[in-house]
Amino acid sequence: MTLLRVEHLTKQFGGLKALDDVSFELEQGSILGLIGPNGAGKTTLFHCINGTLRATSGKVIWKEKDITSLKSFQIARRGIVRSYQVVQPFQGMTTLQNAMVGAFCKTNHYQEAESIALEALKKVRLDHKSDVAARYLNLGERKKLEIAKALSTQPELLLLDEVMAGLNTREVLEMLEIIRSLRANGITILLIEHIMEAIMNISDYIMVLSFGKKIAEGSPQSISQNPQVIEAYFGAEE
């Protein structure tokens, strides 16, 4: 079943087209990897899907309903939530309290929010740090907390923006396991990542952006051999 359909999405910042007529579909239960050089428009695509920014034109269709002009909190309540590339937890709050912020999207009851948040922390293997203030978490733990905050909204679609950036090899492998287990629990995933080995390994399907345009999509193997993709990353051969 198609969960999400993005149709001719364009986002203009003054004269710059950060997204230029981008269309794609996302199947329920899949992991779609989104790659592209720096400044390609990947994060902007997340902004426009989850209502952080309003698209200049085009549509975002979720379960056959047009959600293009909804606000982030309304979109979160419908089941789409995203992580941020630059993680900014509430430093003075505990890990559990940070994760609870997401849960209040679903409930007004403190105790219920606490148990939803604890469940989310378990899923990212961070529950042992529940009572630690976020300012004491290292980068790997902050990345996990960023995902837990999103999971606490109990999403159906998770948009993950570079959750492996800056992690060491062991942490990247653990993050891949976590993402796989989220999918096994029924969450559909759209993933931005620069670590090629990781994204090629985990994605069912890859989409490539360059200068705001979708230049390729296909299996990880076909993308890794696609001349247009190689050119976008390394420049044309003389």
Ligand X SMILES: Nc1ncnc2c1ncn2[C@@H]1O[C@H](COP(=O)(O)OP(=O)(O)OP(=O)(O)O)[C@@H](O)[C@H]1O
Q: Which residues bind Mg ion (CB under 5 A)?
A: 42-43, 85
Across the beta sheet with 16-27, the strand order is 16-27, 2-13, 57-62, 65-66
- Residue 36 as a binder of ligand X (CB under 6 A): the answer is yes
| Closer CB to ligand X, 49 or 120, in the complex | 49
| Nearer to Mg ion (CB atom), residue 42 or residue 129 | 42
* Minimum distance of ligand X from residue 86's CB (angstroms): 9
Residue 110 binding: pick among ligand X, Mg ion, none (C-beta 5-8 Å cut-off by kind): none
In the complex, residue closest to Mg ion by CB:
43
- Contacting residue, 40, 96, 121, 178, with ligand X by CB under 6 A: 40
State how far the alpha carbon of 165 is from the alpha carbons of 78, 120, 126, 195, in Å.
28, 21, 18, 7
> Any idea how long the chain is?
238
By the 8 A CB rule, do 115 and 173 touch? no
Considering beta carbons, is residue 35 or 145 the nearer one to ligand X? 35
Q: Residues 84-103 vs ligand X: string with x where CB under 6 A?
A: -x------------------
Total residues at interface with ligand X (CB under 6 A): 12
Q: Which of residues 7-26 bind ligand X (CB under 6 A)?
A: 13, 16, 18
Quick one: how far is CA 186 from the chain centroid? 15
Looking at the DSSP bridge assignments, the partners of residue 26 are 4
**CA of 231: how far to CAs of 191, 197, 216, 219, 237, in Å?**
22, 18, 12, 18, 8
- Sheet-wide strand order for 31-35: 80-82, 157-161, 188-192, 31-35, 205-210, 213-218
210 is an interface residue for ligand X by CB under 6 A: no
Q: Which residues in this chain contact ligand X in the complex, by CB under 6 A?
A: 13, 16, 18, 36, 38-44, 85
